C-alpha cells in the first residue's frame, strides 16, 4: 500500500492532531516540512474550522517551529468565500463566529429577509434564539451552506459542540439541502487541487479524523492516510484500506525509503 508514496507530489495535511494537539507541540513538524521543501513535494493545510483567521493557524504552526505562507492554509471560511465568489452571490446572512461574519460581510451584503445564502458556522456564544432567528430568515430562494458536518470537537478529556449540531437543528425545520463546504465533502479538496494544479491520484491527505479527513479524501479520489498522533479510529473501522503513520517522523522515513533516498 505504501508504494504509492513514490508517486506522491502533493500532501494535504489536517492541522489539529497532526501538527499540534490543541496548544501542545507535536514532534517532527520541522523535519517533515524541511524534507518536503528539499524534495520539492508541495503541501498545504486544510482545517474544517471556521472560527479563526488563517493568520492564527500560521502562528500556531510557527510556535511548533514551522514557517508557512498563509496561502498554504485553507480554513472553511476561506473556502466559503471562494464558493460564494464562484456562485456570484450577492446577499447573505451568517450564523457563526465574528471572524466568519467579518470576512463574509466585508464582501457580501448582509440581508435579513429572504437572503440568497444562509451560511452556518460555529461559535460557542450562539444561542437558541440566534438559531430560531436564522430559521425564520429562510425564504423560498434561500440556499443554505455550512462550514462542516462535525458534531463534536474532542478536547482533552472533554468535547465541545461543533457546526453539525446546528445543521441538524436547522435541517429539521426546512426541506432544503444544506451544502457542506468542509471535509468529508469534495468541494474543499477539489478547490485545493485546482489551486495547486495537482492531480488527485498523486495527492495524499494526512489526518487524524476518520469521518472527515479519511472519508473526504476517499470521496475525492485522493490517497488517504491516518496518523496516530490525534483522534482514535472509530471501532467500526475494520477494513484499514488507507495508509497509517505513527508520526510525522514515520511519514518522513517512509517517504525517504520509497523515494529511494
Ligand atoms: Mg484533526
C-alpha cell at 145: 451552506
pLDDT in tens, 14-45: 999 999 988 889 999 999 999 999 998 999 99
Residue 88 CA to ligand 1 center (angstroms) comes to: 31
Q: Tell whether 85 is covered by a domain.
A: yes
The mean pLDDT of the chain is 94
Integer angstrom CA distances of residue 91 from 95, 109, 132, 254: 14, 5, 20, 48
pLDDT at 214 over 80: yes
Query: Any idea what the CATH number is for the domain that residue 163 is in?
Result: 3.40.50.1000
Q: Are 30 and 66 in contact (CB under 8 A)?
A: yes
Q: Are 143 and 176 in contact (CB under 8 A)?
A: yes
pLDDT at 224 over 90: yes
Q: Are 230 and 208 in contact (CB under 8 A)?
A: yes
Tell me what the mean pLDDT of segment 122-148 comes to. Answer: 95
State the total domains in the chain.
1
Residue in the block written with cell 510525522: 248
Neighbours of 37 (CB within 10 A): 12
Q: Tell whether 173 is covered by a domain.
A: yes
Q: Tell whether 196 is covered by a domain.
A: no
Q: Tell whether 60 is covered by a domain.
A: no
Residues measured by CB to lie within 5 Å of ligand 1, the ion: 14, 16-17, 208-209
Residue 132 CA to ligand 1 center (angstroms) comes to: 30
Q: Tell whether 113 is covered by a domain.
A: yes
List the domain range (segments joined by +) for residue 165: 77-180
Q: Tell whether 53 is covered by a domain.
A: no
CA atoms lying within 13 Å on the CB side of residue 22: 9
Question: What pLDDT, on the 0 to 100 scale, is given for residue 259?
Answer: 76
Residue 154 CA to ligand 1 center (angstroms) comes to: 9
Report residue 83: phi and psi, to 5°: -65, -45
Amino acid at each position: 500500500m505504501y508504494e504509492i508514496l513514490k508517486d506522491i507530489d502533493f500532501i494535504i495535511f489536517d492541522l489539529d492532531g497532526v501538527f499540534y494537539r490543541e496548544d501542545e507541540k507535536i514532534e517532527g513538524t520541522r523535519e517533515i516540512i524541511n524534507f518536503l521543501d528539499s524534495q520539492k513535494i508541495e503541501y498545504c493545510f486544510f482545517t474544517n474550522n471556521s472560527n479563526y483567521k488563517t493568520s492564527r493557524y500560521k502562528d500556531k504552526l510557527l510556535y511548533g517551529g514551522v514557517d508557512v505562507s498563509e496561502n498554504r492554509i485553507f480554513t472553511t471560511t476561506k473556502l466559503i468565500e471562494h464558493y460564494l465568489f464562484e456562485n456570484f452571490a450577492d446577499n447573505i446572512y451568517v450564523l457563526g463566529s465574528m471572524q466568519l461574519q467579518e470576512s463574509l460581510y466585508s464582501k457580501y451584503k448582509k440581508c435579513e429577509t429572504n437572503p440568497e445564502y444562509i451560511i452556518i458556522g460555529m461559535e460557542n456564544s450562539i444561542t437558541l434564539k440566534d438559531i430560531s432567528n436564522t430559521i425564520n430568515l429562510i425564504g423560498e430562494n434561500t440556499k443554505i451552506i455550512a462550514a462542516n458536518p462535525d458534531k463534536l470537537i474532542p478536547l482533552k478529556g472533554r468535547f465541545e459542540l461543533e457546526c453539525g449540531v446546528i445543521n441538524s437543528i436547522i435541517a429539521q425545520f426546512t426541506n432544503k439541502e444544506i451544502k457542506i463546504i468542509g471535509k468529508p465533502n469534495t468541494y474543499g479538496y477539489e478547490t485545493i487541487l485546482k489551486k495547486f494544479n495537482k492531480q488527485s491520484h498523486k495527492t495524499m491527505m494526512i489526518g487524524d479524523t476518520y469521518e472527515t479527513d479519511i472519508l473526504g479524501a476517499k470521496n475525492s479520489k485522493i490517497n488517504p492516510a491516518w496518523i496516530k498522533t490525534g483522534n482514535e479510529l472509530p471501532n467500526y473501522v475494520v477494513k484499514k484500506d488507507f495508509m497509517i503513520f505513527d508520526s510525522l517522523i514515520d511519514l518522513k522515513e517512509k517517504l525517504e525509503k520509497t523515494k529511494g533516498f
